[in-house]
Amino acid sequence: MNITTTVAASSSGTLTLNEGYFIRRKWDEWLFAVLAVAGALFAFSKYHASMDIYEKWILAGTVPVVVWLGWFWRPLRHLMLVVAALSLLAIVSYDGDLRRGDTVFWLKYFISSQSAILWMSMLFFMSTVFYWVGMFSRGQAAAFEGLGSKVAWVAVTLALVGTMVRWYESHQIGPDIGHIPVSNLYEVFVLFCWMTALFYLYYEAQYKTRSMGAFVMLVVSAAVGFLLWYTLVREAHEIQPLVPALKSWWMKLHVPANFIGYGTFALAAMVGFAYLIKLQVAETRWYRMAPIWLFGVALCFVPLAFRQRSVGEAGGTYWFVYAVIAALVIGGIVLGRKRIAERLPSLEVLDDVMYKSIALGFAFFTIATVLGALWAADAWGGYWSWDPKETWALIVWLNYAAWLHMRLMKGLRGAVAAWWAVAGLAVTTFAFIGVNMFLSGLHSYGTL
């Protein structure tokens, strides 16, 4: 092993030796690496017949990424090990017969794909409530926010378990049906929920503040709300065969990269919203509290848009309840804005989280856009066709490219940056789901 070392002079004049990256790894980190390699070998030995050459290379490339992530942030090691253990328990419990999902207790109520995702949904709602109770609690704020954080971790765990088990279940239905569960709106909303929450939990740990969770979990809960409605009116939880355009290994790379972008852009927008509230807390004139009112209008627009497109007919009561809850949330923020501002971290921390989220999301969204062009060339014979989904993806990319340019070249900070991040969420949301509702094109297989 070739380990490079550097010698540097300390303030006392003595020379200190900075050890190489691998030498600093502890025994438990190497054990995790061994388990990751063993897991990949097990998956290959058991399922290689269902993989093409590209998927085998993706599996091989996933191993060092998983190891690095586990070394980079310790909680991810625990998360991945628990998810692997519960997923294997589900696979062993099914024993190749999906009918056992109705008879085996822990499959039926906890770790079948649908059960795990329903638990995820409930726990994300609970986490949001705990964060907001902590925001207004005087004596037990830390306790409630800590509970919100722990519940969010459990929700992320069950979301991943549900995703992994759904992948297995799809292959048990039929070899021509089996696919990674990132192929339709139901599956990608699950992806969006756990990715957004997980990135937030990382920033929560890095900055040692939990008060941002009250805002970030709002967008996660909104996504969960759509997921439940979509399950209700479309029975979207049912596993369906892939349409021909999606039968590609490109999907396994393009979609996750895309949703890292969507998740971090949403996170940045909610942190930007919190920034604006903290910045304008002293304002008493209603028209100077525009961020709150505009956010409320945006929330109320969602059920109106669904009713306008006649996709809410089977869930009219659901969207009415959604609008009522949205109004209560906005009213609570207006009335409690001073307390909220006290609990939020400094403007500098909020600004830094907003910037890092957008920078990370932009990098992955760029990769996803390039991968999408390659996929389009493979599926449709051209890299770019100005399809509505492609066009709006470009608009999203240009929006955040301009934000980062202004930040790095012109020192963009403060209210303008926050407003821009919040507006970016509207652009991203339309690219994510609005195109599916109002426009048609080559991506019409994702329509509501």
Three-state SS letters, 247-258: CCCCHHHHHHHH
Contact 292, 337 (CB under 8 A): yes
Residue type, 379: A
- Percentage of the chain beyond pLDDT 90 is 57
Residue 399 in this model has a pLDDT that exceeds 90: yes
Q: What is the rounded distance in angstroms from the CA atom of residue 175 to the CA atom of residue 430?
A: 35
Across 234-238, 262-266, 285-289, least confident range: 285-289
At residue 6, φ and ψ (nearest 5 deg) are: -125, 150
Confidence (pTM): 0.90
Alpha-carbon distances of 119 from 36, 108, 198, 239, rounded to whole Å: 27, 12, 17, 19
More confident residue, 436 or 337: 337
Task: Find the angle CA(201)-CA(361)-CA(78) to the nearest 5 degrees.
Answer: 30
Residue 362 in this model has a pLDDT that exceeds 90: yes
Contact 268, 421 (CB under 8 A): yes
Contact 216, 132 (CB under 8 A): no
Q: What is the pLDDT of residues 9-45, one digit of tens each?
A: 444 444 444 567 888 889 999 999 999 999 999 999 9
Arithmetic mean of pLDDT, 316-330: 75
Across 45-49, 192-196, 318-322, least confident range: 318-322
Contact 329, 218 (CB under 8 A): yes
Residue 127 in this model has a pLDDT that exceeds 80: yes
Residue 405 in this model has a pLDDT that exceeds 90: yes
- Percentage of the chain beyond pLDDT 70 is 84
Which H or E element spans position 18? strand 15-18
Arithmetic mean of pLDDT, 116-123: 97
Q: What is the rounded distance in angstroms from the CA atom of residue 264 to the CA atom of residue 227?
A: 19
Contact 309, 438 (CB under 8 A): yes
For the chain, the average pLDDT equals: 86
Chain CA centroid to CA 445, Å: 22
